């Protein structure tokens, strides 16, 4: 029986992911956006497969960015850059 080290990661298997490196890409999407966005729209803008797992991962990242003050959640599930 193999160990966890023998199991290929999603990145190694070649699947798309909105992993940790996706944070700068998420911020770039909001810099270019002219309106608030939902997680699904962010996935589409980043050319990430629109699958439930990816949408949920992006949604969690958006919530973390909102908690840190880098984004604002204007309505439940709707995110934008905070206005000065």
Q: Which two tokens stand for residue 18?
A: 């909105």
Q: Let me know: does 18 contact 46? Beta carbons within 8 Å.
A: yes
Task: Report the SS3 class of residue 73.
Answer: strand
DSSP state of 37: B
pLDDT along the chain (84 residues), means of 10: 42 42 86 94 93 95 94 95 86
Expressed in angstroms, the distance from the first to the final Cα of the chain is 56
**Domain CATH code at residue 47:** 1.10.10
What's the total number of domains in the chain? Answer: 1
- 5 falls within a domain: no
State the Cα torsion 60-65-67-73 to the nearest 10°.
Answer: -80
Q: Let me know: does 34 contact 43? Beta carbons within 8 Å.
A: no
Q: 25 lies in which domain range?
A: 20-80
């Amino acid at each position: 029986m193999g160990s966890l080290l023998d199991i290929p990661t999603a990145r190694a298997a070649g699947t798309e992911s909105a992993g940790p490196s996706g944070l700068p890409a998420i911020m770039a999407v909001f810099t270019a956006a002219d309106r608030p966005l939902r997680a699904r729209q962010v996935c589409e803008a980043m050319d990430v497969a629109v699958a439930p797992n990816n949408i949920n991962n992006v949604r969690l990242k958006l919530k973390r960015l909102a908690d840190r003050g880098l984004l604002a959640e204007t309505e439940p599930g709707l995110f934008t850059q905070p206005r000065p």
